[in-house]
Structure 1
Amino acid sequence: MTVKLRSEVNVEETWNLKDLFETEEAFNQAIKNLTEAVDQFVEKHKGKITDAVSAIHALKDYEKIYEMVIPAGTYASLSLSTDQTNDEAQMRASKFDSTAAKVFSKVSFLNSELSELPAETIEEAMNESAEFKNYLEKLLLFKPHQLHPEVEKTLAAFQSSFDAPYGLYNTTKLVDMNFGEFEVNGKMYPLSYNIFEGSLEADPDAEVRRAAYKAFYDKLKDYQHTTAKTYDAHLQTEKTTSDLRGFDNIFESLLFDQQVDRELYNRQIDLIMSELAPHMRKYAKLLQKVHGLDKMTFADLKIPLDPTFEPKITVEESRKYMQDGLQIMGEDYINMVNRSFDERWIDFAQNKGKSTGAFCSSPYGVHPYILISWSGSMDDVFVLAHELGHAGHFYNAHKNQNVFNSRPSLYFIEAPSTMNEMLMANHLLKNSDDPRFKRWVISAIIARTYYHNFVTHLLEAAYQRKVYERIDAGESVNAGILNTYKRSVLEEFWGEDVEIQEGAELTWMRQPHYYMGLYPYTYSAGLTISTQVSQRILKEGQPAVNAWLEVLQAGGTKTPVELSKMAGVDITTEQPLRDTIAFIGSLIEQLETLTNEIEVGSN
């Protein structure tokens, strides 16, 4: 068995990018049209934004340009994400990046001229055109950090260069790294990023799992210095930008667009590191006991609690899970779910060069696209529910908001996605009293929903904070420093209950999130919100669902605090987080109780 090439996968397992552009010629024409529209925009508005009326006219024309950029950028990005080895896709993405840099450099005068207007003029424009109120409010907040127009133009022109480290990271990871095969007891197993993360990392056979772990991390080790240098280049760009714009520190700079303060950021990391760790160590010991392991190692943390009960789930069977688990969200939402299958919004295939993990891209004016590498496990069902949560969010937001108002703060972005995982779990638990089935569902919630979002991404965040503190102090990082930071975070969280064996320190190489600012901690922030709202839905039913749908439709018109309050959660206090950690603890206690029941029943 070998990893398939993209050309060898079934087209029905792939997404249909023709909804973006029917042909390559259409894409090239769109790039040409965009370039011409920008030149016309510059001629029409540059140096002429002097009052509220001219500001509104310029924003209306800019809105049209922004709506032209999105499908072209999405097409270039998505076609590359399914096969990073494809020369044509690489060149297309580069062409778009170059065009986008020129576009945003040319139109950078817009924010510069708007920022130079008196505050009362901007307020007048906000009053006369509610659709741009949100855009202008953010502009006013950013005004102290706005640089000279020529500097802004130059920075925008260099954007594709600033984004280069992320592209280099993906090329190293998905093109240059060849994992080959590994052998266990005379049998050869193929290995790749997607195969390791999709199945081998959780293989019930300890010999296979640990051998896969060693082979995987041995290959990562070969590329640690290049990857570290790439990451440092990205960090230095962020630090320089933060200093240029006059932020007090890099954290303030990166949290600015998230519309939250550092207290919320630190609280999320500190409380989970200290108070969730004992619960998760208990879960690790339960895994060790059930599987009869000689010791619990980092390589064993992803194994299912009851692998013999794990059904293999086909793509079509997953649709039924989505329909049943998410039906509480209403007919329109389920229609969106069905369309995602029928109209090929989802890329299920496993192939060489495909991006790892899963994501949802939601281009304004089209429909969402979901990338996942389907292996047929229950984990995949929760991952798909998660990504459909993103899709449902922007499906609702795009229908109710303009392109400037549809996207909320990054802090809130993972709440709708993790909400779907909770709804799926609630549905499954409600429909069976069988102890083994209940244990399977609860263990899936812990192993997928909470481990992934409250452990994996949170440990990324704790490590990332150490990195940024170093960068903020004017220093750099290399592979040795990053390895030390990552190992220290893993050892602090797992204590003596889990052996952090050689290779685990290289886990920092696996995630692209470090190239997306302070993103990792937002997973636990979003899941804190969705855990509380899902409990409210269990108690109140339809009124709570209706409130949640209103939150989705609000898009980015409110801050994370305001959106959470709409859903009945006050994130200005630590109570929702403490309640969520306690809820996770109660689930692990249920797993212990159910395991004892099952063991007694089988004797």
Structure 2
Amino acid sequence: MSLMAETKQLPLRKDVPVELTWDLTTIYQTDSEFETDYQAVENDLTALQQLSGTLGKSAADLLKATEALLAASRKLEKVYVYAQLKNDQDTSQDRYQAMYARSQSLAARFGAAVAWFDPELLTLSPKQMADYYQQEPKLKAYQRLYDQTFAKREHILNHDVEEVLAGADDIFSSGEKTFGILDNTDLSFPSVTDENGNQVQLSQGVYSILLESADRTVRKEAFQKLYQVYQQFQHTLASTLTTNVKNHNFKARLRGYHSALEAALSANEVPVKVYDNLITEVNRHLDLLHRYVALRKRILGVDELHMYDLYTSLVGEKSPQYTFDESKKVALDALQVMGPEYVSHVKEEFNNRWIDVVENRYKRSGGYSSGTYDTNPFILLNWQNNLDNLYTLIHETGHSMHSYYASHHQPYQYGDYSIFVAEIASTTNENILTDYLLDKYKDDQNMKRHILNYYLDGFKGTVFRQTQFAEFEQYIHEQDAKGQPLTANFLDDYYRQLNQKYYGDGVVSDEQISLEWSRIPHFYYNFYVYQYATGFAAASTLADKIVNGGQADVDRYLNYLKSGSSDTPINVMKKAGVDMTQPDYLTRAFKIFEERLDEFEKLF
């Protein structure tokens, strides 16, 4: 089917069956209820600002300010999420566009109104805090919240400097913003020919579809033409990336961190050792990626394997089809290993319209899980009947169950969770589904091929590829800190060498791949990508324990979901049975990858 033929007429929002839409009345029954809370938060802003200067007066004053700040934040969360979900379900509605814009503005004003709190909290000495806890025992409920701020004590600068840094934030993010405008708006991509001979306009989304094409000439043309555009602008893009790296290095130095990496990870309370372990272990296991690449070359039957050959299916025929109803049934069956309580909450999600299922005109693309502390979670999907969407459903369900358990077992201040642990719950569900499907179709070679192909490609794209990105990101920050100019040629040369190291001799590191760094938005996210790799590896290990272990393993996992942010991310994961400061969880994930690679090789 050509890309052009896929632009079928989507239904308007009003024509989508109600049972396939989410029920946002669990946040607000009506828009006027939203307006009431919006007004209440707006009124809170002045009162919150007036509490500035009170924290050092008494334990009672600290309690009063903390409770006021959290109560307003809790209300703001509902206002913001309601407006965002209403807008995302149909972005053409002026009313909800305006509602969302107002909520974003309110959130910014809230941030400004409470900006005094952390610097003022830091003026309280450990002795004063100890006295406060004795004088007002209710403060103990917020001790971890305060400790997170106190942990940064030596890295927070005096009030004047902090004010200047906050005011200059727009300037600091200019590299990222310029890249975003160039990449999303100003770069003009040529047309290419799809497998049905139609001319299609190249874009990031179309490019990823064309790279999966079974027609090699289509893949090659898309690859070459995309990078022609980036090549023209590589010196500009080297400049935007350099600006971003210099921003990270400057702030890290100013705040007294050893490196930009340490500064970025400490924001999530993650030790640098976790990052170092990841890169070391992935490098130790690159022979598995080389084996996988060699197998890909053999199955595709090509003399030379190129970078544009790494995303096309090795199974050939179309992916298995799953309707939404079939997918819910499969997900419930696969998740039985989590025990009856977990499954009962998944049924709640499926039966009570927590999910916005089908694509309608002007609906936001992609999929996500969202929600607030005081409501059920919500999932946005744009459903297609395929294996990928079955995985998306169980992935987003993992996020939603994490939110459900955290909000039902923690007070508001700890009812959310760190980004470091967020992807683990969703990917554990994916890995449980893989185990379930491999067992269910153990005698169906064709289905096994599809599932193993999906898993191996997911592991390659998440663990190996994201670690390659993490290694590149660390290197360019270190080089800039040493005074090395990050010219386009310098970045091209290093990136190509790194690519050759990762994929080995079995694949041609095409000249164009040297430019891949120039089109990856994640390089502007400040050491974010490594979490995809650590998350996937931890999830592989956890799913293995849940499927092949006992009740104790399931209980430990559920305790992790219930922990929210009541402890550091590393300690929360220890509760689940994975110590992420040690390399064992990575070794185990590679063992699972190797076993499945063996199995896939046998099928061919």
TM-score by length of 1: 0.85
Q: What does 1:112-151 correspond to in 2, within 5 Å? A: 112-125=119-132, 128=137, 129-151=139-161
**Matching residue's letter, 2:253:** D
What is the aligned partner in structure 2 of residue 586 from structure 1? 595
Q: Quick check: 2:427–2:539 contact (8 Å CA) kept in 1? A: yes
The alpha-carbon distance between structure 1 residues 86 and 136, as it changes in their structure 2 partners (threshold 3 A), is: same
- 1:36 aligned to 2:24? no
Alpha-carbon shift at residue 560 of structure 1 (Å): 3.2
Q: Which moved more, 1:559-568 or 1:220-229?
A: 220-229
Q: Quick check: 1:415–1:526 contact (8 Å CA) kept in 2? A: yes
Q: Quick check: 1:277–1:493 contact (8 Å CA) kept in 2? A: yes
In structure 2, how many angstroms separate the alpha carbons of the residues matched to 1:500 and 1:371? Answer: 38
**Matching residue's letter, 1:187:** N
1:456 aligned residue (462, 465, 470): 465
In structure 1, how many angstroms separate the alpha carbons of the residues matched to 2:148 and 2:142? Answer: 10
The alpha-carbon distance between structure 1 residues 126 and 548, as it changes in their structure 2 partners (threshold 3 A), is: farther
**Matching residue's letter, 2:278:** Q
Deviations 1:534-569 (A, max 9, x none): 222223233321221111100112223322322222
Q: Which moved more, 1:66-75 or 1:383-392?
A: 66-75
1:237 aligned residue (243, 247, 255): 247
Q: Quick check: 2:338–2:546 contact (8 Å CA) kept in 1? A: no
**Matching residue's letter, 2:74:** E
In structure 2, how many angstroms separate the alpha carbons of the residues matched to 1:528 and 1:161? Answer: 37
Structure 1 segments unaligned to the other structure (5+ residues): 596-603
**Matching residue's letter, 2:155:** H
Q: Quick check: 1:368–1:395 contact (8 Å CA) kept in 2? A: yes
Residue 307 of structure 1 aligns to a residue whose secondary structure is: coil
In structure 2, how many angstroms separate the alpha carbons of the residues matched to 1:5 and 1:173? Answer: 28
Alpha-carbon shift at residue 73 of structure 1 (Å): 4.4
What is the aligned partner in structure 1 of residue 284 from structure 2? 275
Alpha-carbon shift at residue 459 of structure 1 (Å): 1.7
The alpha-carbon distance between structure 1 residues 429 and 160, as it changes in their structure 2 partners (threshold 3 A), is: same
2:421 aligned residue (412, 417, 430): 412
Alpha-carbon shift at residue 497 of structure 1 (Å): 0.9
Alpha-carbon shift at residue 519 of structure 1 (Å): 1.7
Structure 2 segments unaligned to the other structure (5+ residues): none
In structure 1, how many angstroms separate the alpha carbons of the residues matched to 2:360 and 2:294? Answer: 33
Alpha-carbon shift at residue 423 of structure 1 (Å): 0.6
The alpha-carbon distance between structure 1 residues 200 and 554, as it changes in their structure 2 partners (threshold 3 A), is: same
The alpha-carbon distance between structure 1 residues 370 and 486, as it changes in their structure 2 partners (threshold 3 A), is: farther
- 1:110 aligned to 2:108? no
Q: What does 1:32-71 correspond to in 2, within 5 Å? A: 32-71=39-78
The alpha-carbon distance between structure 1 residues 306 and 218, as it changes in their structure 2 partners (threshold 3 A), is: same
Q: What does 1:208-223 correspond to in 2, within 5 Å? A: 208-221=218-231
2:563 aligned residue (542, 546, 554): 554
Residue 518 of structure 1 aligns to a residue whose secondary structure is: coil
- 1:193 aligned to 2:204? yes
**Matching residue's letter, 1:464:** E
Alpha-carbon shift at residue 137 of structure 1 (Å): 1.5
What is the aligned partner in structure 2 of residue 430 from structure 1? 439
In structure 1, how many angstroms separate the alpha carbons of the residues matched to 2:327 and 2:293? Answer: 28
The alpha-carbon distance between structure 1 residues 125 and 524, as it changes in their structure 2 partners (threshold 3 A), is: farther
The alpha-carbon distance between structure 1 residues 574 and 486, as it changes in their structure 2 partners (threshold 3 A), is: same
Alpha-carbon shift at residue 279 of structure 1 (Å): 0.8
Residue 255 of structure 1 aligns to a residue whose secondary structure is: helix
Residue 404 of structure 1 aligns to a residue whose secondary structure is: helix
Alpha-carbon shift at residue 309 of structure 1 (Å): 6.0
Q: What does 1:365-444 correspond to in 2, within 5 Å? A: 365-370=374-379, 374-434=383-443, 435-444=445-454
In structure 2, how many angstroms separate the alpha carbons of the residues matched to 1:474 and 1:96? Answer: 43
- 1:572 aligned to 2:581? yes
The alpha-carbon distance between structure 1 residues 320 and 82, as it changes in their structure 2 partners (threshold 3 A), is: same
In structure 1, how many angstroms separate the alpha carbons of the residues matched to 2:114 and 2:223? Answer: 48
2:267 aligned residue (248, 257, 280): 257
The alpha-carbon distance between structure 1 residues 543 and 141, as it changes in their structure 2 partners (threshold 3 A), is: same
Structural RMSD (CA): 3.6
The alpha-carbon distance between structure 1 residues 204 and 78, as it changes in their structure 2 partners (threshold 3 A), is: farther
Count residues in correspondence.
591
Q: Which moved more, 1:213-222 or 1:320-329?
A: 213-222
Alpha-carbon shift at residue 476 of structure 1 (Å): 6.2
Alpha-carbon shift at residue 441 of structure 1 (Å): 2.0
In structure 2, how many angstroms separate the alpha carbons of the residues matched to 1:8 and 1:378? Answer: 26
In structure 1, how many angstroms separate the alpha carbons of the residues matched to 2:219 and 2:554? Answer: 41
Q: Quick check: 1:428–1:441 contact (8 Å CA) kept in 2? A: yes
In structure 2, how many angstroms separate the alpha carbons of the residues matched to 1:488 and 1:557? Answer: 43
In structure 2, how many angstroms separate the alpha carbons of the residues matched to 1:82 and 1:514? Answer: 30
Q: Quick check: 2:409–2:562 contact (8 Å CA) kept in 1? A: yes
Q: Which moved more, 1:464-473 or 1:294-303?
A: 464-473
Alpha-carbon shift at residue 83 of structure 1 (Å): 9.0
Alpha-carbon shift at residue 464 of structure 1 (Å): 1.3
Alpha-carbon shift at residue 135 of structure 1 (Å): 0.5
Q: What does 1:285-434 correspond to in 2, within 5 Å? A: 285-308=294-317, 310-338=319-347, 340=349, 343=353, 345-346=355-356, 349=359, 358-370=367-379, 374-434=383-443
In structure 1, how many angstroms separate the alpha carbons of the residues matched to 2:542 and 2:56? Answer: 44
Q: Which moved more, 1:135-144 or 1:560-569?
A: 560-569
The alpha-carbon distance between structure 1 residues 98 and 152, as it changes in their structure 2 partners (threshold 3 A), is: farther
Deviations 1:33-77 (A, max 9, x none): 433212111213434542332212211111112223334444666
What is the aligned partner in structure 2 of residue 531 from structure 1? 540
